Chain A
Amino acid sequence: MGQEKYYSLKNVIFLIIIIALIFFPYVADSRTLTILMTQVFIFSILAMSYDILLGYTGIVSFGHAMFFGIGAYTTAILLSMYDNTMMIFLISIIVGMIFTGFVSFLVGLLTLRLKSHFFAMLTLAISGLFLVVAEKWRTVTKGNDGFTFRAPDLFRDRVFFYFFVLVCLVVAFLVLRRFVTSPLGKVLIAVRENEQRTRSLGFRTLHYKVIASIVAGVVASLSGSLYAISLRFVNTSVMSMDITLDALLMTIIGGVGTLVGPIVGSFVIEIAQHYLSGLANDYPIFERWIIFFGMLYILVVIFFPKGIVGTVYVKYLTWKSKKSRPQQPKQSVPLVKDKERLE
């Protein structure tokens, strides 16, 4: 597609959205909305990191929660053991990242040799073991009851925390975008499309998959640290299967294989969760709001089979190609990334 222009439509839209988000806490009068948006950003980071695995490398992991959980626990434990200063918090993020990097390296070496289903189940098993460790190592983690801790004083101010997380999200987005557009990222996409052929071209695919797993794990650890701060509380639920499933669903709903998709997905899911459960207070029919939530998943698969962003993007491309070159509809076909992701 050639060199990307600085003033391309995409970049302008990004800029507008970021400016809108900067003014958001001053426009929205309620604290709840600011906290909700902070939550959306945190899960966006998690879902983006998951998309490195699912969307770009084409591997389904059921163990992403362990990286998230390690980040959350590292921050919580360091902050409660030492002082609740900003310095300790930043150190805890770094420590968490190094630790997850190491763990994901080992886990990756161990698991990534296996094919689709087997890999997924093995990551499920290993993250299950981490959950058990968190539950049983009571002297450090306080088990299922969890523990509260004091966040750095600056984060008392929810608006400041909002901006901090927003900056993290933007940085993570830019870094990951650089990562996936780099030559290394291209190899990952090649692995997703056809691993055997990539290997026969001379790439050691295992190495690349391990690198993808490390990058995904490190970024997930960042979101875990932020999550712990946002709750000022941590318990074993940060390691649970639910976190992995949330990341998975956000990625699929938004659109796999794009970095914007996971952000959109996490926005849709968090907002839907918030408002549907809020409706339950007013209308008794929404007391079982999870039903509507489940229907949302089903409807997304039927009407947006490539995720929201993916479907919109394909629509946009066909519209554009129709407009510019009406004779060549096939030009847009290779961009449709509906290859089977698991095999």
Chain B
Amino acid sequence: MEYLAWLLLLLPLLCAAAIQFGVKDSPAAAANLSVASVVGTFLIAVLLVFNSDFSSSFTWATAGTFTIQIGILGDQLAKGMMVVVTGVGMLVHIFSLGYMKDDEAKARYFGGLSIFMFSMTGIVLADNFIMMFIFWELVGFSSYLLIGHWFEKKSAAEAAKKAFLVNRIGDFGFMIGILMLWGILGQTFLFAEMEAPAKALPESQATIVGIAVLLIFCGAVGKSAQFPLHVWLPDAMEGPTPVSALIHAATMVAAGVYMLFRLQVAAGTSIFEGFAGTTIAWIGGITTLLAALMATQQDDIKRVLAYSTLSQLGYMVMAVGLAGEAGIEAGQAGMFHLYTHAWFKALLFLGSGAVIYACHHEQNMWKMGGLFRRMPKTTMTFAVGTLALMAAPPLSGFWSKELILAQALEHNPPLFWIGAGVAVLTPFYMMRLFVVAFLGKPRDHGAEKAKEVPPVMLVPLIILGVLAVVSAFSLIASSIVPDNDFHAHGFHPNMVFWISLGALLLGAGGGFLLYHGRSSDPLANNPLFKLFRNKFYLDELYLKLVGLFQDTVAMAVHFLDEFLINGMIVGGLARSTAGLGNIFRRLQSGNLQGYAILFGAGILLVIYLTVFAR
């Protein structure tokens, strides 16, 4: 099994290397190679998930007694996550064959996808924090490559830069957190060795442990785009739509949640107790609410989905944070939501990709409309994804959100009410999106001429549509949900169910009534909704803050340069030299006899010093 797992890790890397060094000039070969590699990894992942756990490692670097290992750890969590990653990855690769058919840099695109698959596999399989951090950075790098795929476009290049820089902020905290945790948990990076030291931690260290966990959470804040570092994800929609589906919806952004849950599995939830878990849960809650509010006023079909991704990630982070109080069940609920969300959000993004493709790269939903008649199959799959995201029973999203809300109600009622409020907003903005883009009449040429997409794009949509319905059912879920011992629970219609059902009907009904038959947004002029449309002016605020900070630093540096270095050191040296020269210039009178007098005086002085002044 170990060899297969190593192959699973290295296959995408070999593929990326082969594309970069071999078939770069032949796009079709590069695409086929990449798809073949991801199909291979998917098959391996499926094979592994039905086999026993495995682990294998070798020493990578040694310094005295300190060693860094590269190793793979295949427990149920990693194996299940691998199925999600490679499964979504495979469908996205196949979809890309159609979507990127005419792209000029197809080879580079598929090379980027392969290097991403390698990085993501590394995060999932890593058996220690250092290796995870390495692949964590590689994921950021490949995300940069893929967001900036159309780098000739200024906005795409800037979005790639922004994503990379914002992620670096989080990763800095992550790195400090890893090192602190190393010191706290008996000087080990290995997940397998963390449990005993974590159990033996004295009460007096609770504060420092909490700080370390929060610093590690910083990494998740960056990668999973939580408030206040969420600003990069909507901009990352500048990348090709399949990339958004793979990286910025289903897998990479979930890495933060995965990493936190991995820590909970490894070290137990006890280190999340107290302020650390509460802070994480509240950050998740704030993110889910803010993102849902912002999603209600976006016009770009991909941006609506991007904000809904933020919102759903907020749910997951909230659940993982609640695990500090609630124990591992809350974290499992978050992972369950990650798992179901991956399928239906990939479906929604690929569906939006199909729509954008059919409308000749039109992304504004107000210029679509009436697509249901023209591309019914795509619309049906999109509708399934929408219902799953709305958490309509009995689709997959319903079960996982239900679990999270139940955990929240039990352990942190204020967060439950935030979650319930978002459960109203989610159907509202998704209904808005669906009604405006797919129903009614076409409002632009692109939508009028839209045709059903080719099978290579339709088939992944249909597969994902089926998964969006059935992935939460216990038959499938119990074997591949990325959890240790999760079982889809028996269902009782309780208070959580009635509240979320009411929220669903309220939001969906409100959205339908408000937007049915409209050709522009009736809420656009409402000042409150303007605030949502402008994303609470957070981007502008950050721009101001960063500008202020940079200006201050620049002013200080300018002062140092201008006054200290230029004025005092360089200028001062020049001025003192000139002054001294001015003094000595007077001695050079050019008068021969003046020199003679000085000469004589000098001799007298020497005589005086040698003869009389002894």
Q: Do A and B come from one complex?
A: no
Q: What is the interface of chain A, defined by CB distance below 8 A to chain B? A: none
Residues of B bordering A, CB below 8 Å: none
